[in-house]
């Protein structure tokens, strides 16, 4: 029913634990785990898990697009290795997709402290980003865990569940983004094609966020480059 794509960039045991957790859910048909850099992982030797070892690191979109080639199910789920699943998210997510006639869905992400994260937002503009830099609103929706599903502008790539037909129609992520904004871009293209996106706050996951772009000049550079690319396409 669902193919999961996870990209590990040295996440080690975190990625292994997530794979083991996913295999507990009957909706998960297979897991494609891409190791973007060489690393040792302790994975169960089961037919459901395919490990891909990249010879050279690839970008976010390129890795998930490559994993999609191994998808033979009705749904394709892009999932970060730093996501923790307290319960099975897929029954309610697929129900929300069907009831809203949506093609992309996501749960509500919580920080390890229980605080609501910013994985569901309005599309950024040059003016909104300027106001954000000055300490203004960052475009996130005000969401309460448990509230009814609703249709946002975009959902973050930490957890995105696609119908396979939609991912094919969108031709996957734009690989010209190396890191950051691939999720914003694919959601904008989905809206342009009339494909619905739904967030289901009745499902919550825990995000062990690293926020690399706030700590690394290199990641900050990728973030800014991707932001400029997105705005230039607006």
Ranges 115-119, 138-142, 168-172: which has the least confidence: 138-142
Position with higher pLDDT, 133 vs 194 = 194
Across the range 47-57, mean pLDDT stands at: 95
Q: pLDDT digit string (tens) for 184-224?
A: 999 999 999 999 999 999 999 999 876 544 556 666 676 66
H helices of the chain, where?
13-22, 60-68, 90-100, 126-133, 164-170, 182-192, 217-232
Position with higher pLDDT, 132 vs 52 = 52
pLDDT band at 180 (very low <50, low <70, confident <90, very high): confident
pLDDT value of position 151: 96
Q: Are 107 and 93 in contact (CB under 8 A)?
A: yes
pLDDT value of position 196: 98
Q: pLDDT digit string (tens) for 68-126?
A: 999 999 999 999 999 999 999 999 999 999 999 999 999 999 999 999 998 999 887 66
Helix/strand/coil for 99 = helix
pLDDT value of position 213: 42
CB atoms within 10 A of CB 132: 13
What mean pLDDT value characterizes the chain?
Answer: 89
Q: Identify which of 211, 190, 31 has the alpha carbon closest to the alpha carbon of residue 119.
A: 211
pLDDT value of position 194: 97
pLDDT value of position 209: 75
Instruction: Report the percent of the chain where pLDDT is more than 70.
Output: 85
pTM score > 0.85 for this model? yes
Q: Are 16 and 84 in contact (CB under 8 A)?
A: no
Q: For the domain 2-232, what is the CATH superfamily, name and number?
A: Spore Coat Polysaccharide Biosynthesis Protein SpsA; Chain A (3.90.550.10)
Across the range 163-171, mean pLDDT stands at: 98
Give the Å distances, CA to CA, from 191 to 104, 159, 231: 10, 18, 16
């Amino acid at each position: 029913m669902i193919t999961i794509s996870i990209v590990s960039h040295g996440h080690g045991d975190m990625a292994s634990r997530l794979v083991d957790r996913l295999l507990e859910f009957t909706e998960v048909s297979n897991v494609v785990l891409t190791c973007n850099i060489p690393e040792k992982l302790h994975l169960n030797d089961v037919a459901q898990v395919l490990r891909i070892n990249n010879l050279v690191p690839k970008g976010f979109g390129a890795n998930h697009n490559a994993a999609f080639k191994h998808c033979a199910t009705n749904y394709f789920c892009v999932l970060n290795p730093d996501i923790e699943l307290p319960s099975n998210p897929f029954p309610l997510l697929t129900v929300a997709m069907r009831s809203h006639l949506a093609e992309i869905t996501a749960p509500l992400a919580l920080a390890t402290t229980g605080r609501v994260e910013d994985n569901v937002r309005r599309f950024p503009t040059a003016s909104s980003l300027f106001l954000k830099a000055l300490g203004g609103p960052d475009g996130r929706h005000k969401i309460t865990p448990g509230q009814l599903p609703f249709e946002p502008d975009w959902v973050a790539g930490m957890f995105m569940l696609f119908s396979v037909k939609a991912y094919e129609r969108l031709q996957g992520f734009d690989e010209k983004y190396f890191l950051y904004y691939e999720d914003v871009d694919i959601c904008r293209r989905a809206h342009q094609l009339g494909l619905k996106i739904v967030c289901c706050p009745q499902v919550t996951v825990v995000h062990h966020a690293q926020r690399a772009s706030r700590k690394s000049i290199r990641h900050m550079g990728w973030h800014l480059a991707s932001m400029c690319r997105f705005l230039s396409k607006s």
